Amino acid sequence: MSVSVLGSGAFGTALAISLAGNGPVTLWARDTNHASAMKASRENEKRLPGVPLPDHLSVTTDIAEATRNETLLLAVPMQKLRSLLVEHSELLAGKTLVACCKGIELNTGLGPIAVLNKTLPSAKPALLTGPSFADDIARGLPTALTLACDDAALCKDLQQQLTTANLRLYRTTDTTGAEQGGALKNVMAIACGAVIGAGLGDSARAALMTRGYAEMQRMAMACGARPETLAGLSGFGDLTLTCSSDLSRNYRLGLAIGRGETFDPSVTVEGAATARAAAAKADEMKIDTPITQTVTNLVDQRLTIGEAVALLMKRPLKEE
C-alpha cells in the first residue's frame, strides 16, 4: 500500500527516501517554489542537502493527490500539527495518520495523539518516534524507531508497512509513553547542551541526563505511561542520542545558551516550546520537574546558565 509524507522538512524527506525503498512514496510540500526546486534538482537542498531523491519518491504540492493514499505520515513541527490538520481536515478524515513530530502543544499541553484525536476523531492515529537523525536515515544508516498506536492490530500492520531496509520499527500500544519520551528528551537536550556550552563538563551532563530521565519518567507515568516505554527507544534511546550529539538542534540551542551566543530562530527546535508546555502542565499536576522549569527559564532568558546551575545545586537534598 502506498504511503504519503506530508511535510518536506528534514525528517519528512528522510522518511520518504527510506520508504521509497519499499515502493512508491509521495512527498507533499506546501511551498510551490520548494517543490519545484526539489523536482528540478532531485534533492532537498534546503532541508537535507547532499542526498538524492530516489526514483520511487514523487514530490507534489497537490494535497488532494498526496492524501489519496491511506497511510499518511505527518512530518511537521508539533506546534504546527493542529493547523495542518484543520486546514486539510476533509481530505485527512478517516485516514491512518502517523504523527512524526515530537513535542507537547504549547496552548493545550496535549501530545500529538491527543491533538489528532481531538481534531480528527474519524482518523486512525499513530506515532513514529525514537532516536533518529534525518541525515542518518536519508543516508541509509541503520536506525531503530518506536511505532505507537492504541490499536494493536493496526500497529502490527503499520510496522510491516513502514519498516524499511534501514528503519527497524518496534511497536507499542503505549502512545502516552512514546510521545512523552520524544517530547521531553528535547528539553533535557537543551539543558545538556547548555552545561557543555558553558564548559561545566561531562559529569554535569551525565547528572542532567540521569536526573532528566527521572523527570521524564515521573511526568510520563503521571500521564499514564508505562515505565518500560520510557526505558525504550522513544525515551532512553532518544535521550542519549539527542543529549550527546551536535547533530541535534535542541542540543545546539543549549550550546548557544551556555556560550551566551544567539541562535537562528528559523531552525526548528521543539524543546523550547515543549519546555514551556511541560512546565505549565507539571505545575497544574503538582509534579516536581526542576530541570524542565530551569530550561524554561533559560530559553526565556530569566536565568543565566550560572544562576540556573547554582539553583539546581542548592536544591534540598533528597533520596535518589
Ligand X SMILES: NC(=O)C1=CN([C@@H]2O[C@H](COP(=O)(O)OP(=O)(O)OC[C@H]3O[C@@H](n4cnc5c(N)ncnc54)[C@H](O)[C@@H]3O)[C@@H](O)[C@H]2O)C=CC1
Question: Which residue has the CB atom at the shortest distance from ligand X?
Answer: 9
Q: Is 55 helix (H, G, I), strand (E, B) or coil?
A: coil
Q: State the minimum distance, in angstroms, from the CB of residue 174 to ligand X.
A: 18
In terms of Cβ atoms closer than 10 Å to its own Cβ (0-12, 13-18, 19+), residue 273 is: buried
Q: Does 181 bind ligand X (CB under 6 A)?
A: no
Q: Are 103 and 270 in contact (CB under 8 A)?
A: yes
Catalytic residue among 185, 286, 314, 318: 185
- Residue 299 CB partners (closer than 8 Å, separation 6+): 190, 253, 257, 272, 275, 276
How far is residue 205's CA from residue 244's CA, in Å, rounded to a whole number? 9
Candidates 28, 29, 25; CA nearest to 2 is: 25
- The reply on whether position 180 binds ligand 13P by CB under 6 A is no
Rounded to 5 degrees, what angle do the CA atoms 247, 168, 18 make?
65
Q: Sort strands 48-52 and 71-74 into parallel, antiparallel or unpaired.
A: unpaired
Binding partner of residue 110 among ligand 13P, ligand X, none, CB cut-off 5 to 8 Å per kind = none
Q: How far is the CB of 115 from ligand X (least distance, A)?
A: 12
270 is in an annotated binding site: yes
The number of CA neighbours under 13 Å toward the Cβ of 119 is 26
Q: Determine the residue type at 100.
A: C
Q: Is 249 annotated as a binding residue?
A: yes
x-or-dash string of contact with ligand X, 34-73, rule CB under 6 A: -------------x--------------------------
Of 103-111, 116-124, 235-243, 295-303, the window that binds ligand 13P (rule: CB under 6 A) is: 235-243
Q: Shortest distance, CB of residue 24 to ligand 13P, whole angstroms?
A: 26
Q: Kindly state the smallest distance separating residue 80's Cβ from ligand X, in Å.
A: 4
- Shortest distance, CB of residue 40 to ligand X, whole angstroms? 17
Which one of ligand X, ligand 13P, none is in contact with 39 (Cβ closer than 5 to 8 A by kind)? none
For residues 255 to 294, the per-residue mask of contacts with ligand 13P, x marking binding by CB under 6 A and - elsewhere, is ---------------x------------------------
Which residue number, 45 or 202, has a Cβ lying nearer to ligand X? 45
185 included as an active-site residue: yes
Alpha-carbon gap, residue 188 to 137, rounded angstroms: 23
Residue among 24 and 77 whose Cβ is closer to ligand 13P: 77
Q: Is 97 in the site for ligand 13P (CB under 6 A)?
A: no
The answer to whether 74 and 81 have CB atoms below 8 angstroms apart is yes
d(CA 244, CA 212): 14
Active-site residues, by number, are 185
Q: Which residues bind ligand 13P (CB under 6 A)?
A: 102, 131-133, 186, 189, 238, 241-242, 248-250, 270
